[in-house]
Amino acid sequence: MTDALALLWLPFLVALCLTGIHTYLGQQVLARNIIFVDLALAQIAALGATVAFMLGHPVSSVGSYAYSAGFTLLAGMLLAATRNWSGRIPQEALIGVIYVVAAAAAFLLVEKAPQGTEHIKQILTGNILTTGADDLIAVVPLYLVIGGLLWMARARLAEPGAGWRGWLWDFLFYACFGLVVTSSVALAGVLLVFSFLIIPAAIGVLYADGVGRQLLLGWSVGVAASLVGLIVSYAFDLPTGSAMVCVFGAALALAGALRPIVTGGGERLEQLARATRIVVAVVFLASGAWVMIAPRADQPLLDSVEYAVPGLRTVYMDGRELEVYRDADSYAQRYRREAERLNEKEATSRWQGRALDDIEVRRISSFLQSYSEMRKGEEFVKQEVRNRARERIRWVLGPALIALGLLCVPWQRSRRRHAQRAESDRDV
Amino acid sequence: MIRNHASRVLLACALCLAPAGAVTASERMRIVATTTDLKSLAEAIGGERVSVVNIVPPNVDAEEYQPKPQDLSRLKETQLVLRVGVDYDLWMDRLIAQAKRPELRRGGAAYVDCSFAIALLDVRGAQVGPAGGHAHGSGNPHYWLDPQNAEIITGTLLEALARNDPANAKSYDSRRQAFLKRLAAKIAEWERKLAAARGQPLIAHHNSWAYLARRFRLNFAGHIEPRPGIPPSPSHLAGLIALMRSQNIKVIVRQPHEPAKNADFLSGKTGAKVVLLVASVGAVPQATDYLSLFDYNVDALLAAHGR
């Protein structure tokens, strides 16, 4: 537990800072309908860093940051100038083009300097887990200044007006946005920054009215999701960035699903219930049909239920099948253990005790390969037994699943309509 | 008189050829090797009779290399293809198929899989747990990092060169013998130097050093990225930090193309030193050929252990 705390408190602080500034920027981005602008600007920043690298500035030097910022500002000018450039094509199209071209150009440049590949990958994936305190100290003043600036200019930013003044306000927004994104993407990577930008702001907009309340709600959601993401990543041994992105996504899904319940409205709630029942019904009906058509194929529903409750096997396998299945399972595990033991022995012998000669290493390798093949054989037996059992019971299982599916179909509405129609007929 | 004239012409011709060192560029055997390490070994045996180009530049992860159009044109002209095998340069199969030359295919006369007869480590088959972690079921592909394996690799190369250029087989053989002699002396020197680091625990970014570890009895106690390309989870890092503290691990090994952030993070938490080792010739300027590759790595390891 103390290990977890020692490792996670700094990433959590980073997540707090990222939530703070990005939820606010996210509201602007949602309002302006320029969802993917952060990807485009981050990629432009990466292109700038690559150019700096090609010109001999070391990674994360002042020169490298200057080039990133310069490129981002240029892109900001372009974006500000093209807000309503044709009136026929949405600006989002241009943003997409900027992203793609910047990414391709960076790769073309990196072709000439192979060491840069890892650098570009780093900018795009980031790793919030191994962020240092000095990285954080470097970005906090920037976030504060830019956050303050944007807050003071919020009225003008919302209504930039026309002409060169409008362009200037737009440019101010893109420049601030670009500077924030450039530094935050270097900390956490594009995927996570995109989640910080869009998801808390979107949940705020879903549930609250008024910029202030939306912001407060967005911040709370962002902090909670970050905390859950970090804990999930620690508890389930998962890469932190990806785990956090998935938790943010789940938060949005949950918020979307709960909205009818929270905002009241019996009608909406009923719709939600109907939709859920339809989905469940379709899953049951399809699974029932699929097990009758192709009992030996993958059965996603049955497989996942069996994975969650292995005891179910005793229900549908007969005694002989169960015996073969358990036998194969125990052999498979034994082979795995034996292989692990041999691997361990060989790895230890590299530095400890007597060194193994080539012949002994080869013998171990061929044992390992045999164990692996034998284990695959046992896994095949398990699968075959299960498939045969399913094949045997398919005419019971399939119709049962279909019956379950039919039970889930929401007939009530149409029945009520029947009743209503009958009532109106009677009235007539 | 006529005879005299003819002999003069012959003499003139002989004089013209002699300074060129007996081999002109057009007479050299053209060879394509996937990595700089195989290139260096092929040059050690072929000398000036071969002209070798590598496909993957040093400091690029060969397992993620994306072939370029020039690679295909190189394959169309080459007389011999050398590859690492063991799933290390899988993209080569597609490239060879595109070259449309049957002799370059697996088993063809011009195809050389240098992993032939090597005693592979970390053979796991499929899914025997990612514990020591490589993406490869067929074994750890970094076998050239055991200098003793160069004897087997050059044996394979000698056979291929002699088969394709029988006239010069003797010269290839004697060059190989000379190389092996130098290699044996060097291995003795490296073993002597690294005796100080024997068994001292290390952390590596990725499991690239199994063969080096086996030859010089180095103890790689853990890896930062057990699954290549997937960033480490917090619990994995916490485990590593605990391991580094309990075993007093003072050295973290990283390659120049591997990300610095994670290694620096662990170094900051535990005070261990990060040392750059290279797995390929040319990845640092000092590693100009196969032997200097080990010279560099041995010295870097010794410096990291503070000897």
Cα dihedral sign, A332-A336-A341-A345: positive
For residues B291 and B169, state if they share a domain. no
For residues B41 and B140, state if they share a domain. yes
- pLDDT recorded at residue B250: 92
A33 token code pair: 């309908």
Question: What backbone phi and psi angles, to 5 degrees, belong to A265?
Answer: 85, 90
Interface of A with B in 58-117 (CB under 8 A): 114-115, 117
Residues from chain A contacting residue B249 (CB–CB below 8 Å): none
Using alpha carbons only, give the angle A217, A222, A226 rounded to the nearest 5 degrees.
150
Nearest to A369 among B123, B210, B268 (CB): B123
| Domain end point (choices B137, B156, B187) | B187
Residue B101 is part of a domain; what is its CATH number?
3.40.50.1980
User: Is the pLDDT confidence value at A338 over 70?
Assistant: yes
- CATH class of the region A2-266: mainly alpha
Please give the average per-residue pLDDT across A52-72, as a whole number.
Answer: 82
For residues B225 and B272, state if they share a domain. yes
User: Is the pLDDT confidence value at A413 over 70?
Assistant: no
- pLDDT recorded at residue A415: 54
Unique residue bearing structure tokens 């994360």: A60
pLDDT bin (cut points 50, 70, 90) of residue B13 is very low
For residues B220 and B163, state if they share a domain. no
Higher pLDDT, A86 or A61: A61
For residues B150 and B225, state if they share a domain. no
Please give the average per-residue pLDDT across B177-197, as a whole number.
Answer: 95
Please give the average per-residue pLDDT across B96-113, as a whole number.
Answer: 90
Question: Do B225 and B231 contact (CB within 8 A), yes or no?
Answer: yes
Percent of chain B's residues with pLDDT above 90 = 60
Q: Is residue B13 part of a domain?
A: no
The 10s digit of each residue's pLDDT in A174-190 is 889 888 988 888 888 88
Please give the average per-residue pLDDT across A21-26, as a whole number.
Answer: 92
- pLDDT recorded at residue B5: 57
B259–A343 C-beta distance less than 8 A: no
For residues B46 and B169, state if they share a domain. yes
Q: Touching check for A287 and chain B: CB below 8 Å?
A: no
For residues B117 and B242, state if they share a domain. no
Q: Touching check for A398 and chain B: CB below 8 Å?
A: no
For residues B169 and B203, state if they share a domain. no
A233–B219 C-beta distance less than 8 A: no
Q: Touching check for A227 and chain B: CB below 8 Å?
A: no
Question: Do B103 and A312 contact (CB within 8 A), yes or no?
Answer: no
User: Is the pLDDT confidence value at B126 over 60?
Assistant: no
Please give, rounded to a whole number of angstroms, the shortest distance from the CA of A379 to a CA of chain B: 12
Residue of chain A whose Cα is closest to the Cα of B197: A351
Please give the average per-residue pLDDT across A189-214, as a whole number.
Answer: 91
Unique residue bearing structure tokens 């974006």: A79
Residue of chain B whose Cα is closest to the Cα of A359: B119
The 10s digit of each residue's pLDDT in A383-412 is 999 999 999 999 999 999 999 999 988 876
Total beta-carbon pairs less than 8 A apart between chain A and chain B: 133
| Domain end point (choices B160, B187, B214) | B187
For residues B220 and B106, state if they share a domain. no
Instruction: Indicate the length of chain A as a whole number.
Output: 428
Q: Which of A136-145, B151-160, B196-205, B221-230 has the highest mean pLDDT?
A: B151-160
- Domain spans of chain A? 2-266, 277-422
- pLDDT recorded at residue B19: 44
User: Is the pLDDT confidence value at A193 over 80?
Assistant: yes
| Domain end point (choices B187, B222, B253) | B187
Q: In total, how many domains does chain B have?
A: 2
User: Is the pLDDT confidence value at B4 over 60?
Assistant: no
H or E stretch including A364?
helix A358-408
Span of A45-54, A160-169, A347-356, A378-387 with lowest mean pLDDT: A160-169
Unique residue bearing structure tokens 């046992």: A378
pLDDT bin (cut points 50, 70, 90) of residue B219 is very high
- Say what the alpha-carbon torsion angle A220, A222, A225, A228 is, to the nearest 10 degrees: -80
Measured between alpha carbons, how far is A200 from A206 in angstroms, rounded to an integer?
10
Please give the average per-residue pLDDT across B158-169, as a whole number.
Answer: 94
Q: What does each C-alpha distance from B80 to A320, B75, B83, B157 come to in angstroms? A: 58, 9, 10, 10
Q: Touching check for A189 and chain B: CB below 8 Å?
A: no
Unique residue bearing structure tokens 């058509």: A293
The chain-wide mean pLDDT, for chain B, equals 86
Span of A106-115, A323-332, B279-288 with lowest mean pLDDT: A106-115
Nearest to A130 among B57, B131, B265 (CB): B265
User: Is the pLDDT confidence value at A118 over 70?
Assistant: no
The 10s digit of each residue's pLDDT in A138-166 is 889 999 999 998 888 877 777 777 778 88
For residues B172 and B46, state if they share a domain. yes
Higher pLDDT, A49 or B267: B267
Higher pLDDT, B256 or B41: B41
Range of the domain at B279: 198-304
Q: Touching check for A134 and chain B: CB below 8 Å?
A: no
Span of A277-291, B115-129, B139-153 with lowest mean pLDDT: B115-129
Using alpha carbons only, give the angle A187, A190, A194 rounded to the nearest 5 degrees.
110
Q: Is residue B82 part of a domain?
A: yes
User: Is the pLDDT confidence value at A278 over 90?
Assistant: yes
For residues B202 and B144, state if they share a domain. no
The 10s digit of each residue's pLDDT in A204-213 is 999 998 888 9
For residues B163 and B299, state if they share a domain. no
**Residue spans of alpha helices (H) in A239-355:** 240-262, 266-293, 300-308, 313-316, 319-349
Residue of chain A whose Cα is closest to the Cα of B66: A111
Residues from chain A contacting residue B218 (CB–CB below 8 Å): 350-351
Interface mutation target, options B214, B236, B254, chain A, most CBs of A under 10 Å: B214
- pLDDT recorded at residue A294: 93
- Bin A33: left if φ > 0, else alpha if -120 < ψ < 50, else beta: left
Q: Is residue B72 part of a domain?
A: yes
A182 token code pair: 């450039």
What are the b/e assignments for A107-144, b being 16+ CB within 10 Å? eebbeeebbbbbbbbbbbbbbbbbbeeebbeebeebbe
The chain-wide mean pLDDT, for chain A, equals 86
User: Is the pLDDT confidence value at B170 over 90?
Assistant: yes
- pLDDT recorded at residue A50: 83
Please give the average per-residue pLDDT across B47-54, as a whole number.
Answer: 94
- What pTM was computed for the model? 0.84
- pLDDT recorded at residue A190: 83
pLDDT bin (cut points 50, 70, 90) of residue B15 is very low
Helix, strand, or coil (residue A160): coil
Q: Touching check for A346 and chain B: CB below 8 Å?
A: yes
